[in-house]
């Protein structure tokens, strides 16, 4: 076993204890080397269930949060998924492991370049672009699923319109200090909205985000 394999198994066991029961998500997360997405000074802590700094005031999300959001999104193999907030690239890699076709947008170009490098080195096929993801990625819309990994002041309207019929949008919405996770499912022109309490994300900044 490699240096990190045991840590990763412990992380997976903890996710199960905390209630993550989706075996596809568990499988995908047990295949992604989280330590490759964490900056050097923090690699020894890569499998702790906590968010860690990735530079530019941003963080790689806590493994439990990634697992919870990925399960809520329910991304199936071959599905087209848009991620807003590439960050370290870890969430994108987990989605790619699930067999999704991943499109990911990041506003910070330095973070995007670093994520791109890791994703390429590990041969994850993820399409990325720099820019404001609150307006979506119309060239590739509609999507089976959209996941926003930064906290928004409200559900960004353009993202709803880029969902396929039956598609799901997972987005943390709230104040700058605390958000609920909102899961919106589209059926035709009806958008069903469910809410899960108690998450903390870095802010989503942009046209439909915080200014
Ligand atoms: N999914 C990431 C989490 C990164 S934190 C991971 O797995 O590591 C959220 C990221 O969203 C930050 O990198 C931040 O720069 C980015 N972000 C914030 N507002 C954004 C916007 N409007 N469009 C695209 N990215 C945004």
| Domains parsed from the chain with CATH numbers | 5-199 (3.40.50.150)
Protein residue with its CA nearest to atom 17 in ligand 1: 85
200, two tokens: 């903390």
6, two tokens: 């045991």
Residues taking part in catalysis: 61
User: How many whole angstroms separate alpha carbon 179 and alpha carbon 166?
Assistant: 25
- 67 phi, psi to nearest 5 deg: -65, -45
CA 127 to ligand 1 center in whole angstroms: 15
The preferred substitution site among 32, 64, 88, 107 for testing ligand 1, maximizing ligand atoms within 8 Å of CB, is 107
Mean pLDDT, 10 residues at a time, the chain of 211 residues? 91 96 98 97 97 97 97 94 98 98 98 98 98 98 98 97 98 94 97 89 95 91
pLDDT of residue 37: 98
The SS3 of residue 11 is: helix
pLDDT of residue 143: 98
The preferred substitution site among 38, 68, 86 for testing ligand 1, maximizing ligand atoms within 8 Å of CB, is 86
Cα maximum dimension of the chain: 51
The SS3 of residue 20 is: coil
Question: Can you list the positions of beta strands (E) in the chain?
Answer: 52-55, 58-60, 80-84, 101-106, 126-130, 143-148, 163-174, 179-187, 190-199
pLDDT of residue 75: 87
User: How many whole angstroms separate alpha carbon 90 and alpha carbon 33?
Assistant: 9
Ligand 1 closest atom vs CA 204: 19
Ligand 1 closest atom vs CA 134: 22
Ligand 1 closest atom vs CA 206: 22
pLDDT of residue 200: 85
CB of 59 within 6 A of ligand 1: the answer is yes
CB of 209 within 6 A of ligand 1: the answer is yes
The number of residues in the chain equals: 211
Prediction pTM value: 0.97
15, two tokens: 């996710």
The radius of gyration of the chain's CA atoms, rounded to the nearest angstrom, is: 16
For residue 185, count other CB atoms closer than 10 A to its CB.
Answer: 16
Among candidates 42, 40, 37, 56, which has minimal Cα distance to 109? 56
Sign of the dihedral through C-alpha 11, 184, 145, 75: positive
CA 52 to ligand 1 center in whole angstroms: 13
Give bridge partners of residue 127 from the DSSP assignment: 103
For residue 205, count other CB atoms closer than 10 A to its CB.
Answer: 16
Block residue for tokens 């799901």? 168
């Amino acid at each position: 076993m490699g240096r990190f394999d045991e840590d990763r198994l412990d992380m997976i066991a903890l996710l199960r204890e905390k209630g993550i029961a989706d075996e596809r998500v568990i499988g995908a997360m047990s295949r992604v080397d989280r330590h490759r997405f964490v900056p050097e000074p923090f690699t020894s802590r890569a499998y702790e269930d906590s968010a860690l700094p990735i530079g530019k005031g941003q963080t790689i999300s806590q493994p439990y949060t990634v697992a919870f959001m990925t399960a809520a999104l329910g991304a199936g193999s071959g599905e087209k998924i848009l991620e807003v907030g590439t960050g370290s690239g870890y969430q994108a890699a987990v989605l790619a492991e699930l067999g999704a076709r991943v499109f990911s947008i990041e506003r910070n170009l330095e973070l995007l370049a670093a994520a791109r490098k890791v994703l390429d080195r590990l041969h994850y096929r993820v399409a990325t672009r720099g820019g404001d993801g609150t307006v979506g990625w119309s060239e590739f819309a509609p999507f089976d699923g959209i996941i926003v990994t930064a906290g928004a002041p409200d559900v960004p309207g353009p993202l709803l319109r880029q969902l396929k019929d039956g598609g799901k949008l997972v987005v943390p919405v709230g104040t700058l200090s605390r958000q609920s996770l909102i899961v919106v499912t589209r059926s035709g022109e009806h958008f069903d909205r469910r809410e899960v309490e108690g998450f903390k994300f870095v802010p989503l900044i942009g046209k439909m985000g915080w200014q």
